[in-house]
Structure 1
């Protein structure tokens, strides 16, 4: 991008079928006009989105002041392109339609702020590559919402891995013992902004939403790139799929009703019914090489988290001097915690000195009061002040501030667009791998 965007951003929210569309507006931003132009088909998706916005506008603490200008009709995309009252399109909904929406916006000269995933098929990937070419020619920003980069234990795992005195270098790894592993456990029934989340019926159709391989895996593949190769421009040729799998989570009619409110399964889900059970191909794992390092991502969907818990994340980066491990289980009270485990061949005295120096200098300059705690002869953890433990919903504000900065400056890091392409190439190739081996 060469030319800075206009000082005031005007949002156009297209077909907001996923609650992430509303989370972009959980906060107000100086750079964004309070009027938001919403286009979509008449139905429950827009109604649920507007209900969340109304909740933000009427909350007791720091209410927002969004004014929603809504158009409902079957020609919603054409109407948005024709009227073009804004300069940024926000899109978060049916993933099978998303790449067509993105292409139409870019062709019309509109910046795009998209919830992941931007594509769910190999055909969509080809279109996405063309979209980025067109966006570059028109000085447009196309950016996806990678909230997980703002989780503090992930940030610190990345920071520690970049210090060769502590981490050494990332090992090459094997399929049995990858150099970097990311595992995410999600739940269909959950609470958002303090209320039970009502999911649309289409969310359970992998033809419309995508599978775990090309939906949530987008986050995990992004984190692998962002942590293992910070600020490095990647290429498609850096990726080699070793193995990929997918499997189902089964929902009863009562479970489906609890999360959607629907008494029966819609016709488009009948293809996935096995007797009375809905079998959703929403889980997936990818084992692959990225620049000759073996990585593995896994996405698991359960129906509902145990009381007092929520979505969880596990990660390990294996270095030549130590392993950096994020756990979020019962022992951690289901809150993410970062552990540093020294390798048996490392000099413990020198390692601990280097670790203490890293924390007291580099880390504490960025994150004051982060403290090192020794657990046993080979393991340490970081005690992180509560102010840095920002929740998933709040990460949307942080990503949006990044997006607005890139718009204002008319610039984006050189690695971002190439690595978005590589990220979606990885998930697309994994999807092809699974389907060609079935």
Structure 2
């Protein structure tokens, strides 16, 4: 058994990430009362939480993980952030690598916030044990990848309440400006009307994401661990990225409304399908020369099949909804991950498109059911209210209705959203509680995804 403490030091001045904060206090001057413990960081999202510094967080971070390439990849990214020229961070990482890393963390408790972003096979158990030990947890999605994990997650939320700690997942897509504006517009009855009920064939709300296995993160090609392609460790696509989509549907359709999964959700249909990968593609993205033995059952004629794609059709409080996630290997040049969304209202449809016509950048459209001079006047007045919250947002007319013109300063990028989530979580920790709707809606979200997986695998 290898036991090792590796100090990773850097000296640099840092800036707090959020646009609303202009502090230039150095990390070593921080008086933050929060201290991070990063556990088994096997996903690059763990590092993205630390892409910026925070006044409320101690710059000394304790890392507990098994020795290997996963923790090294995390440390490499932290060193990259510490050594960059523009707004370098100054995290100081104290790393413990051993087979007993998790037990050691629970025994030492050098911090009060556990950050989990990695292999999902044991994540729900790590969550439960951490909150049982009186530790706050900020976890990457998904927090549960099957029905058994969902049952344990429910217990974890009960334990968190009992121990007065906060368990929260990292929902970055709420901070994407087009998603936020679509939600704002849906809360304007004069513009949107009422959310329609929809049908199975034409749902009232649709969210579709297309992702890519090979991509760049923080300017460098992303190396994914081999286990990322084992659905028993990563989870199937229908319980992974769909977490964001289900969350957005709940968040935009029933804002700040506590949901009850036992009566508000009905899974109508669900299906799954594999993404195919060649040995050369697998090597490109993992740097591994061959498939590991745990993937052998998913290999046929040297081609790896990964159940990364999924579709869920369901009702939420009687509203028909559909989520679709697709994974391709690599995006065409000049493109990237894309998102499509529609919310159907009695007065207008609110649509997000991100295709060639939009230069592969998400754009919000308002497409009225009955356009006319009166509607246009009302729309102008109502969007003025949004403009007071998001200065610079404007309307641009087109042949179907209007497009929202969004200033570039709001398009901060996916990586920056992790800092925004962390800032929001710190606000909740300061208040000592989450909003009343957050916990029941997290439970509802993971019920939806895990029950969809059960349905998709049962019908095969």
TM norm structure 2: 0.92
CA contact (8 A) 1:7 1:408 kept: no
Q: Distance in 2 between matches of 1:271 and 1:403?
A: 40
Deviations 1:373-411 (A, max 9, x none): 0012x3110110001111000000100000000001112
Residue 10 of structure 1: aligned partner: 35
For the residue of structure 2 that corresponds to 1:335, the secondary structure is: coil
The whole-number CA distance in structure 2 between the counterparts of 1:349 and 1:251 is 53
Pairwise mapping of residues 18-167 of structure 1 onto structure 2 (< 5 A)? 18-167=43-192
User: Aligned match of 2:308 in 256, 274, 282?
Assistant: 282
Alignment of 1:189 onto 2:214: yes
Q: Which residue of 1 aligns with 2:395?
A: 372
Q: Which of 359, 362, 369 is the matching residue for 1:333?
A: 359
- 2:402 and 2:258 mapped to 1: Cα distance? 32
SS of 1:165's equivalent in the other structure is helix
Q: Provide the rounded CA distance (Å) in 1 between the counterparts of 2:437 and 2:307.
A: 32
Report whether the alignment pairs 1:273 with 2:296. no
For residues 97-138 of structure 1, what are the alpha-carbon distances to aligned partners after superposition, in whole Å with 9 as ceiling and x for unaligned?
A: 100110110111100000000010100111111111111111
* Structure 1: distance between partners of 2:401 and 2:386: 18
Deviations 1:323-355 (A, max 9, x none): 000000000000000111111xx2522211111
2: CA distance, partners of 1:210 / 1:351: 46
Give the equivalent residue in structure 1 for 2:415.
393
Deviations 1:290-323 (A, max 9, x none): 0000000000000000111111100000000110
Aligned-residue CA RMSD in angstroms? 0.9
- Secondary structure at 2:122's aligned position in 1? helix
Q: Which runs of 5+ in 2 are unaligned?
A: 1-30
Residue 415 (structure 1) aligned to one of 417, 434, 437:
437
Structure 1 unaligned residues grouped into runs of 5+: 1-5
The aligned residue for residue 334 of structure 2 is 308
Distance 2:135 2:72 in 1: 25
CA distance in 1, matches of 2:174, 2:235: 22
Asked if residue 200 in structure 1 is aligned to residue 225 in structure 2, the reply is: yes
**Map of 1:425 onto structure 2:** 447
1:251 aligns with 2:273: no
In structure 2, the residue matched to 1:352 is 376
| Contact 1:111/1:141 (8 A) holds in 2 | yes
1:176 correspondence with 2:198: no
Please tell me whether the aligned partners of residues 326 and 338 of structure 1 are also in contact (alpha carbons under 8 angstroms): yes
Give secondary structure in 2 for the equivalent of 1:230.
Answer: coil
Q: Is contact 1:107-1:134 (8 Å) kept? A: yes
Q: Distance in 2 between matches of 1:356 and 1:108?
A: 53
Q: Is the 8 A contact 1:248 1:280 kept in 2?
A: yes
Please give the alpha-carbon distance, in whole angstroms, between the structure 1 residues aligned to 2:82 and 2:72: 15
